[in-house]
Amino acid sequence: MAFQKAFAALLIASFMLFHFTNAFQKVDYSEPSAPAPAPQVSQPLNCTGACEYRCSKSSRPNLCNRACGSCCHRCHCVPPGTSGNYEACPCYFNLTTHNNTRKCP
């Protein structure tokens, strides 16, 4: 019985010590924290222009432009250059057709 009372007293004392050490921590209110920067609103991508450039060297430019345009509207990006560079736009790279072939040129 004495052990339980001593244990309870020790437990209460440790909680009080923990509480008071956290309560007396120094808080510096002299410098206000900087507000979080506002999110940048990006300009909408000109899918037509981006796809025309992307498909400029294609053997079937109309088909390429149509596929690129649908991919651009879904992903809001077109990889730079006329081919490759898919790492710049992973969504564009991962879109597939019903036959599991790549949709985007």
Per the domain annotation, does 32 fall within a domain?
no
Report yes or no on 58 lying in a domain: yes
Does this model's pTM top 0.75? Answer: no
Domain membership flag for residue 77: yes
Residue 51 lies in a domain: yes
Rounded distance, CA 24 to CA 3, Å?
Answer: 32
Q: What is the pLDDT, as a whole number, of residue 68?
A: 95
Domain-embedded: residue 84: yes
Tell me the per-residue pLDDT of 11-29, one tens digit each, with 9 for 90 and over: 787 767 776 676 566 555 5
Rounded Cα–Cα distance for residues 24 and 30 (Å): 17
Domain presence at residue 14: no
Range of the domain at 79: 45-100
Number of domains in the chain: 1
